[in-house]
Amino acid sequence: MTFGFAPSSAASLSTSAASAHRVLEPAEWAAAGIPLLRNPREVVSGLHARHHPKPTTAVVAVLDPDERLRASASFIRRPSSADGWMFRNAVLAQLRRVIPHDLRRRTPVRTAVLLYCREGDARWTEEDGAWMWGLRDACTLHGLRCGAYITLTRDGWQVLGEGRGGRRPSADSPPEPLGTAESLPPAPRTGGAASDVLRRAAAR
């Protein structure tokens, strides 16, 4: 459930103690040292062209050090409360399907990013905080660097915590030709059963 813009007062922490630890607020996210995307619009356009996300669709993608796409998968968020633990399990399940883990490396080389298409505007919500928590934890468990969290709404796209965004693509815009994102090669097609938390809509 989305609660809108989170107030900065202590009232924003009125949820249970467990849930509070499964949501990252913008200040915590910014302090985590998330690596910046060199060309976020190119990444967003490439994922949008491949997965055609609509509201409640999440897209997780793995990028190599040169920001080339190595794997991605899209899936639908089922109606439920925003819970970072549930989102973590869903993201991790998708990562395990599309790419081997890097847990044997001393330092993560590949980076996972998450694009979430939702209703509302680009302002941070509790749901976004739960996705941030889930992405960060899933990356740790899969041996990846935690990368950008991007929202896609009818107003456009926004890299939360960075202040970078654009009007296109948006939740309503048609996909751009894949040729406009030359640095992103076609993502591998995958299969497998859906997570018990989220139903996978597509995997490419």
- pLDDT tens sequence across 146-177: 999 999 999 999 999 888 999 999 999 887 76
Per-residue pLDDT of 9-63, as tens digits, reads 333 334 444 445 699 998 899 888 899 999 999 999 999 999 999 999 999 999 9
Pick from 76, 91, 86, 98: nearest CA to 146: 91
Burial zone of 31 (CB within 10 Å; 0-12 exposed, 13-18 middle, 19+ buried) = exposed
Three-state DSSP at 107 gives coil
Q: ∠ CA 26-140-63 to the nearest 5 degrees?
A: 80
**Cα 165 to chain centroid, rounded:** 15
Asked whether the beta carbons of 156 and 30 are under 8 A apart, the reply is no
Question: CA-to-CA distance for 198 and 60, rounded, in angstroms?
Answer: 13
pTM, rounded to two decimals: 0.77
Mean pLDDT, rounded, of the chain: 81
State residue 188's pLDDT score: 42
More confident residue, 127 or 106: 127
The secondary structure element, H or E, covering residue 116 is strand 111-117
CA torsion, ordered 15, 17, 22, 24, to nearest 10 deg: 70
pLDDT given for residue 175 in this prediction: 72
**Phi–psi pair at 63, nearest 5 degrees:** -110, 145
Q: How far apart are CA 165 and CA 91, in angstroms?
A: 23
Which runs of consecutive H residues, i.e. helices, occur in 74-143?
84-98, 126-142
Judge whether residue 185 has pLDDT over 90.
Answer: no
Give the mean pLDDT of 175-182: 55
pLDDT-based confidence at 81, cuts 50/70/90?
Answer: confident
Of 144 and 4, more confident: 144
Give me the helix-helix angle, 84-98 and 126-142, nearest 10°. 40
Averaged over 179-199, what is the pLDDT?
Answer: 41
Per-residue tokens: 106: 């001393």
What is the model's pLDDT at position 200? 39
Confidence at residue 163, expressed as pLDDT on a 0 to 100 scale = 82
Q: Give me the mean pLDDT over the 176-195 stretch.
A: 44
**Mean per-residue pLDDT, 173-198:** 48
Provide the β-strand partners of residue 164: 159
Per-residue pLDDT, 161? 84
- Which pLDDT band, with edges at 50, 70 and 90, does 109 fall under? very high
pLDDT score, position 21: 65
Can you give the pLDDT at residue 178?
56
pLDDT in tens, 126-135: 999 999 999 9
